[in-house]
Amino acid sequence: MRNGDRPTGKEIAEHLHQAFRALPACVKHLFARVDSGFYCWDAVAAYLEHGCQFVIVARKTEPLLARLREAEWKPSPKTDADAQCEFTYQPDGWEKAIRFVALRYEQPPQTADEVEQYQLFATAQYTYRVFVTGMTEPIHLVVGFYNLRAGAENLIKEANNDAGLAAHPSGRWDMNRNYFQMVMLAYNLNCWLMLFNREEQDEVATLKHTTLATARLRFLFVAAKIWSHAGRTGVSYSDHSAEKGLFGRLMDRLRGITPRGGNFAPVLAGVLT
């Protein structure tokens, strides 16, 4: 949404207020994770005003570095860091003190290629990741919640490139809004389709994401022939397809969907946990 110029705190706050006003009334819990471009009091105040739990990457400043040097550091067995700390800090120009959490690495983190460089504070002895947050959970859960942001960005990238979300068809807001809803419906239907075709033993922790492009190649762009004979019309698929077994299992499960009361009977015996 930006043209390359860094927005002011007032512009950031107005953007957040617009986003919160656009949420439907059914939304009860709000969470936000954002990069250091949102590191300002105006953003924090907007999150607090709307009761939103937030994690913001802190920007490197000398006063903040001084607080990091003075902090009480403890081992961090539940993260990839060597040590962790937390403290309450009120940067210059902020109206109140807020909770800060930090990770410290004695050497650059082994996963530095996976962590955005703008998250890192580099000093002669340590490398830091520092966040300002309104969450009260333990440090490893706060950092873990922020780390999921990379996965969300990958999903947005996939929606833009594979589902055509970036191809806004009109200069009118309402037209683009309708297009967005249709694209996301198609994207979510594909996700449900992949859940229908998961392995019985899969769990949430081990379930792998299948991109929309891959799903198309495996289940949509398949060799087939439409035939009509004796008043019947059908589709015949190639016996030589490498995905024949997976595709057949998916079709059997879809055909097995049956109503049960006001809902539908499960297609897989095992529940995804």
13 and 145 belong to one structural domain: yes
43 and 131 belong to one structural domain: yes
88-123 exposure pattern, b = at least 16 Cβ within 10 A, e = fewer: ebebeeeeeebebbbbbbeeebeeeeebeeebbbee
137 and 179 belong to one structural domain: no
Q: Is residue 163 part of a domain?
A: no
23 and 72 belong to one structural domain: yes
Which DSSP symbol is given to 207? Answer: P
Catalogue the long-range contacts made by 81-90 (C-beta closer than 8 Å, 24 or more residues apart).
81/105, 81/109, 81/129, 82/106, 84/139, 84/140, 86/139, 89/64, 89/132
Q: Is residue 267 part of a domain?
A: no
Number of independent structural domains in the chain: 2
Q: Is residue 145 part of a domain?
A: yes
134 and 226 belong to one structural domain: no
CA nearest to 205, candidates 145, 129, 273, 111: 273
pLDDT of residue 112: 46
Q: Which two tokens stand for residue 126?
A: 């340590």
pLDDT of residue 111: 53
Domain that holds residue 231: 175-261
13 and 72 belong to one structural domain: yes
Which pTM does this prediction carry? 0.63
Mind listing the pLDDT tens digit of every residue in the chain (273 residues)? 455 567 899 999 999 999 999 888 888 999 999 999 899 999 999 999 999 999 999 998 999 999 999 999 999 999 999 999 999 999 999 999 999 999 999 866 555 444 555 567 777 788 899 999 999 999 999 999 999 887 777 778 888 888 888 877 788 878 888 888 888 888 888 888 888 888 877 777 777 777 888 888 777 777 888 999 989 998 887 777 777 788 888 888 888 888 888 888 888 777 777
Cα 221 to its chain centre, rounded Å, is: 28
Q: Is residue 206 part of a domain?
A: yes
Q: Which of 84, 115, 150 is the last residue of a domain?
A: 150
Q: Is residue 91 part of a domain?
A: yes
Q: Is residue 157 part of a domain?
A: no
25 and 115 belong to one structural domain: yes
